[in-house]
Chain A
Amino acid sequence: MAGDRADFLIGGAGAQHVIRGTGTHAVTGMGQTRRRAEAAVYGVLFSAFAVVGVQLLVLAAGRHSDIALAISEPVAATSFSRPDIVDRNGRLLATDLEAPSIFADPGVVLDRDEVVEKLSTVLPDLNSSELMRALSDRSRRFVWVRRGVSPAIAQKVHDLGLPGVSFRYELKRAYPGGKMAGHALGYVDVDNRGVAGIEKYIDDKVGVDPVHSAVLSNRPPVRLSLDLGVQHALEDELDDAMRRYQPEGAAGAILNIKTGEILASASLPQVDPSWPMQALDDKHIDRMTGGTYELGSVFKTLTLAMAFDEGLAKPDTVLDVRQPLEAGRFTVTDMHPSRRPLTVTEVFTHSSNVGAGMLALEAGPEKLQAFLKKAGILEPMQTEAGTIATPQVPSRWNRATTITASFGHGIAVAPLQFAAAAATLFNGGKTVHPTFLRKFDAGTADGKPVISAATSREMAELMRANVVDKDGTGGKADVPGYRVGGKTGTADIASKGGYTSNAVISSFLAAFPTDDPQYLTFVVLFEPKGIPDTKGHRTGGTNAAPVTGELIARVAAQLGVAPEFATARQ
């Protein structure tokens, strides 16, 4: 209207007068118009900025709400991503793989009976009644049918075309080696969390990452001390021993004598880490760590080491072992009683219980107990694969327990714990702690001293003598070139009120090469049978010793031990 009026005034009669007469008014009108135009421009500009601002706010608010949602969601991870496990040479032992999991939405499932019936055709071991009950609850929107199935099974379920049945990808632990090193590796639960063995160690000490979907771990792999090739050789030889000597079980380990690294550890029957329920069965326990056993004469290595180190005897010291020893209600005799006095070396090579008992009595219960404690036999022990079964030791150390402990009776330890203590005797006398983790500063034993280097040297020579002497019990463990030394063990199995007469635990402890011991093997057979090859005998010298010989012949080269005649020509 203001504009119309101005035009009228300018164009109408007397306009000049008006203009001239009301010059101030005209200027004022133009100024107003200009201000209005400017205001309009500013309005447009403001609107533009406002629109852009609002857009930015909307954008920012949108992003913010996403973040807020992510934070406010419950951090209930459906799964955990885990680092790979590799052997000492980087070969894969365990890894995470994406695997489809099947779930159902009860709210969308049309015909429960049809869904359960058809799923059962693809998944025969499906708990139909439980799934039916879960699907009946229409208030639920998510029910797991089966987690971590193979792609082939997932495809078959997909092909059923069931409405309300769907898939999501999750991480599933895979063990490419199958049963290999199954006991040490342990296993994981359905959420991919470690439950036992190295897998549990990873959860406790290395770390796993909670994930909502199948996201692989970025953590570096966990490198074990195990050597896959050596592990296979051990398992294969033990498997062979299971067929040949038909024991209830067989176990063995190979240790680096100086570092305590476990190159191989096996217990047969094996367990498959992919089928953890097996591990709960008594037959499948890890006999290297999960049970304690009276190991018999292999303990004489500790008794003699103590006697040498305490200065109670030398290898040529003569002992009159012709008379049996009275130990409480037992009478200790030798399997093949000698008709003459024996040197301490012969006590070892003839495996004289009486001789070992005499040396232990010479030291006394306190010294024997203190020595065994120093060697790490009496205290609970732990490795990355879990706690080793607690040693069962005499509650009172008296004459009887001192004698029996000197040849490995009345004291029960897990074979791995014994092997670690035995390693101390041949590495220069320093304690080692068995470990399943690769050590990169390997080289020398740096534990606490248990015996002197000289005693350690004497023990290695004694072990070698037991293999090469014609009267030695370990002759069948000899491997030309590799200077094997060893000690047999044959322990009666304790039963109610005494010992069974027809079941033994036979074992063989070996160190090689004895001129500078690097590795220790310990093979244990549980209740082996006498066979024609052993002339019906079940002693360690007839079964565990040849198994050890074959094992060392197979792994020595893999472990980098040069045969003697190769080095002799240098």
Chain B
Amino acid sequence: MRLLNVAAFFFAVASALLLYALNYDTRRLEAELQAKERQADRARSDIAVLKAERSTLARPDRIDELARRLGLGPPRAEQFQHGREVSELSERQGSANGR
């Protein structure tokens, strides 16, 4: 009986200590989680800003102007060739080059 009581006593004390430890651990993890969530929110917000900035930089009206300054323009119909003709052309060029 005495042994049981002593064991129960130590068990209770151990449980209390464990509970305290878990409690503090939980609080610490909660704080860590909140910090990570804040970090993730920050990252999400940064990504949104970067996406918006990239889209602003890739605006077709901006690219159009820059491309025209480089002498580029929309593709003309005569610039298109059928794929087979392109491969035939490259084969002919290849044989002309002695390959």
Contacts and interface: CB of A to CB of B under 8 A. Distances in A.
Contacts of A567: 82
B48 A229 contact: no
A178 B56 CA distance: 8
A479 B74 CA distance: 13
Contacts of A565: 77-78
Interface string B19-56: 11001000000000000000001001100110111111
B66 interface: no
A500 B15 CA distance: 95
Interface residues of A, number: 50
Given A45-B9, A481-B77, A565-B78, A96 B55 contact: no
Interface in A525-570: 553-554, 556-557, 562-567, 569-570
A88 B70 CA distance: 28
A118 interface: no
A48 B77 contact: no
A371 B78 CA distance: 41
Given A52-B19, A92-B51, A98-B45, A180 B9 contact: no
Contacts of B61: 178, 180, 232, 235-236
Nearest to B41: A215
B28 to A, nearest CB: 14
Interface string A177-211: 11010000000000000000000000000000000
B99 interface: no
Contacts of A228: 60
A59 B26 CA distance: 12
A263 B80 CA distance: 23
A51 interface: yes
A176 B80 contact: no
Interface in A343-357: none
B29 to A, nearest CB: 15
Contacts of A562: 80
A52 B52 contact: no
B77 A553 contact: yes
A310 interface: no
Contact of A97 (B8, B48, B80): B48
Contact of B85 (A41, A49, A52, A569): A569
A318 interface: no
Q: Which of B9, B20, B41, B77 has the most CB of A within 10 A?
A: B77
B52 A176 contact: yes
A214 B45 contact: yes
A302 B12 CA distance: 91
Contacts of A177: 55-56, 59
B45 A229 contact: no
Given A91-B55, A215-B41, A566 B9 contact: no
A92 B55 contact: yes
Given A49-B12, A177-B55, A236-B64, A554 B74 contact: yes
Contacts of A563: 77-78, 80
A41 B9 CA distance: 8
Interface in B58-85: 58-61, 64, 74-78, 80-82, 84-85
Contacts of A91: 55, 58
A180 B59 contact: yes
Nearest to A38: B5
Contacts of B20: 55
Given A174-B52, A232-B61, A51 B16 contact: yes
B77 A45 contact: no
A177 B55 CA distance: 7
A77 interface: no
Given A553-B74, A565-B77, A48 B16 contact: yes
A48 B8 CA distance: 11
A567 B51 CA distance: 39
Nearest to B56: A176
A374 to B, nearest CB: 37
Q: Which of A52, A55, A235, A564 has the most CB of B within 10 A?
A: A52
Contacts of B52: 92, 95, 97, 174, 176
A556 B80 CA distance: 12
Contacts of A556: 77
A566 B75 CA distance: 13
Contacts of B82: 566-567, 569-570
A566 B83 CA distance: 9
Nearest to A59: B23
A503 interface: no
Interface in A21-59: 38, 41-42, 44-45, 48-49, 51-52, 55-56, 59
A482 interface: yes
Contacts of A479: 77
Interface of A: 38, 41-42, 44-45, 48-49, 51-52, 55-56, 59, 91-93, 95-98, 174, 176-178, 180, 214-216, 228-229, 231-233, 235-236, 479-482, 553-554, 556-557, 562-567, 569-570
30 contacts: A44-B9, A45-B8, A48-B13, A49-B12, A51-B16, A52-B16, A55-B19, A55-B20, A56-B19, A59-B23, A92-B51, A92-B54, A92-B55, A95-B51, A97-B45, A98-B48, A174-B52, A176-B56, A176-B59, A180-B60, A180-B61, A229-B60, A232-B61, A480-B78, A481-B78, A553-B74, A557-B80, A564-B77, A565-B78, A566-B77
Given A59-B23, A96-B48, A216-B41, 13 more contacts: A44-B9, A45-B8, A48-B12, A52-B19, A92-B51, A93-B55, A95-B48, A95-B55, A180-B60, A214-B45, A232-B60, A563-B78, A564-B77
